[in-house]
Amino acid sequence: MEEIKVLINKAKLEKRVEELAKQIEKDYKGKDIVFIGVLKGCTMFFIDLAKRISNDVAFEFVEISSYEGTESTGRISLNKDITESIKGKDVIIIEDIIDTGRTLQYLVELLKSKNPNSLRIATLLSKPSRRVIDLNVDYIGFQIDDIFVVGYGLDYNQKYRNLPYIGYIES
Ligand code: IMP
Ligand code: MG
């Protein structure tokens, strides 16, 4: 078993999620919100964020797979779509991490075609040095360097998702 080092501990995660929740409450005063989580990595962040927001938050989920081809041709497909209409709704995509930005670009196009009133992006983590798609990201928990991270929803071969902190594999 690989050794996992802590990058962002539980207390720091909690504090930052609380700050993002307060910011979202301020920006969406008096409005209902639809959270669309990107499975499976979003789960911990999604729930921790949603329960700290006093607005009514509807829950939707998508599941997307990306087939790693060459850097420029990474094919993306939708395994699971949302189940309720988002027409006229105020939607926030909830993502675990933005790397190249390809997954989110695909999802933003898909969701825009469903005519929400507004569409924003919240991500727990961002690796700006890896970005190939220019995305406007409204809420970012932490910017991190180009290292592979696990925990708090994020996996390595489906492992480590339930760690209560963000860590990296020491090799
Ligand atoms: P993108 O389409 O390149 O932005 O890839 C984003 C997706 O790749 C995320 O939703 C994650 O599922 C996965 N990913 C990217 N970096 C990491 C990482 O450091 N740890 C775990 N998953 C990652
Ligand atoms: Mg993901």
Q: Which domains are assigned to the chain?
A: 9-149 (3.40.50.2020)
pLDDT at 111: 98
- How much distance in Å is there from the Cα of 105 to the middle of ligand 2? 13
Positions of the chain with pLDDT lower than 70, given as ranges: 1, 67-74
The region, left, alpha or beta by phi > 0 then psi within -120 to 50, assigned to residue 156 is: beta
Query: Per 3-state DSSP, what percentage of the chain is helix, strand, and coil (rounded to 5)?
Result: 25, 35, 40
Q: How far is residue 26's CA from residue 5's CA, in Å, rounded to a whole number?
A: 35
Ligand 1 atom 3, closest CA: 100
pLDDT at 78: 95
> Is the overall model pTM greater than 0.75, yes or no?
yes
What are residue 54's phi and psi, to 5 degrees? -85, -15
Give residue-wise pLDDT tens across range 70-91.
555 568 899 999 999 999 999 9
Nearest ligand, CA 151: 1
Atom of ligand 1 nearest to the CA of 132: 3
DSSP 14-64: HHHHHHHHHHHHHHTTT--EEEEEEETTTHHHHHHHHTT--S-EEEEEEEE
pLDDT at 68: 62
- How much distance in Å is there from the Cα of 99 to the middle of ligand 1? 5
Q: Is 27 a catalytic residue?
A: no
CA-wise closest residue to 90 among 53, 114, 118, 61? 118
Bond preceding residue 40 cis, omega within 30 of 0: yes
pLDDT at 74: 67
> From the candidates 27, 90, 96, 99, which is the catalytic residue?
99
pLDDT at 170: 85
pLDDT at 1: 66
Give residue-wise pLDDT tens across range 153-163.
999 999 999 99
Binding-site residues, ligand 1, Cβ < 6 A: 41, 66, 95-103, 148-149, 154
Ligand 1 atom 12, closest CA: 41
Task: Give every CB contact of residue 164 below 8 A, 6+ residues apart in sequence.
Answer: 10, 13, 151, 152
74 three-state secondary structure: coil
pLDDT at 73: 54
pLDDT at 71: 52
**DSSP summary character for residue 88:** T
